[in-house]
Structure 1
Amino acid sequence: MTVVRNNPLGEKDFVETLIPQRFPFVMVDKLYSYSETELVSGFTIQSDALFLENDFFLESGIIEHMAQSVALHTGYQFYLKKMQAPTGYIGSVKDIEISQLPKLHDEIITTVSILQEFGGITLVDVVTKLDDVEIAKGQMKTVLAK
């Protein structure tokens, strides 16, 4: 899947309609690409971002960005079906490795790869990059509310 960074599918205002989080807790602001099995999102770290300390975006912010990227996949999937997306929850976080913290004004790009989806439970691999260099990865399981 090719990511065209100067032509995202959705910018901040649209993206925020697809996820349950609201300012100041929003940590995705671009939707670059979508398929049934993969999504690429972006987040440019601004001075009002939660989890920003001494101009570094902390580990907890990266993990929340990853989780919101998964939520964005679900939200866009329901948007395409012209349906309201249900609320989801993180069921588990596994094997998270973070090798570098991004800084204020950096844009992180995250790829969500769907490994399995059944009965409202989704297992994904998530990889976050900064300037095309992997800085975080892991697995998440999300559960849709009934």
Structure 2
Amino acid sequence: MIKAILSSAEKILKLIPQRPPFVLVDKIYLHSEKEILSGFTVPEKHVLVNENGELSESGIIEHFAQTIALHQGYNFFKKNEAAPVGYIGSIRNIDIFALPKIGQEIRTKITILNQILGVTMVSGEVLLNDKTIATGEMRTIVAKEN
């Protein structure tokens, strides 16, 4: 079992632009220049939990995007700098095979494929009990400061 290197909600909130009730990451298990493994335990009450008690497809996609933000935020944190705000530029080849239920933890591994001029292209997979429940690619764009 991998132990989280960061699991404080307060610290996580310093690394991402999202705020409750829209936060969908609560742990970092692994972090390197090109990869991150995040975690999220599906809470009982969340805007993206459906009537069946499952994190919705939109929740899976948002968790994927927040994992990218968490990777970038942690990079800036390690350099003692404030993380910039980023946006989803595009989503490609997203396949969702299953939805996690309340109380279950998903873990998402993101691999940076390319990073240039504020645009980051990643591939990733979402795992539930070590089984892949979603895969895809996403491009994010860092907002320019005024």
1:65 maps to amino acid = H
RMSD: 0.8
2:27 maps to amino acid = K
**Residue from 12, 19, 23 that aligns with 2:20:** 23
User: How far apart are residue 51 of structure 1 and its match?
Assistant: 1.1
1:56 corresponds to = 54
Identity %: 46
Deviation string 1:96-131 (CA, Å, 9 cap, x unpaired) is 000001100000000010000011100000100000
CA distance in 2, matches of 1:30, 1:14: 10
Deviation string 1:48-87 (CA, Å, 9 cap, x unpaired) is 2221112111100000000000000000000011000000
Structure 1 gap segments, 5+ residues each: none
Instruction: Say yes or no: does 1:8 pair with 2:4.
Output: yes
2:66 maps to amino acid = Q
TM-score (norm 2): 0.95
TM-score (norm 1): 0.95
1:116 maps to amino acid = N
Tell me the SS of whatever aligns to 1:116.
strand
1:15 maps to amino acid = I
Q: Within 5 A, what are the aligned runs for 1:75-90?
A: 75-90=73-88
User: How far apart are residue 13 of structure 1 and its match?
Assistant: 2.2
**Residue from 116, 122, 131 that aligns with 1:118:** 116
Runs of 4+ in 1 over 4 A off after TM superposition: none
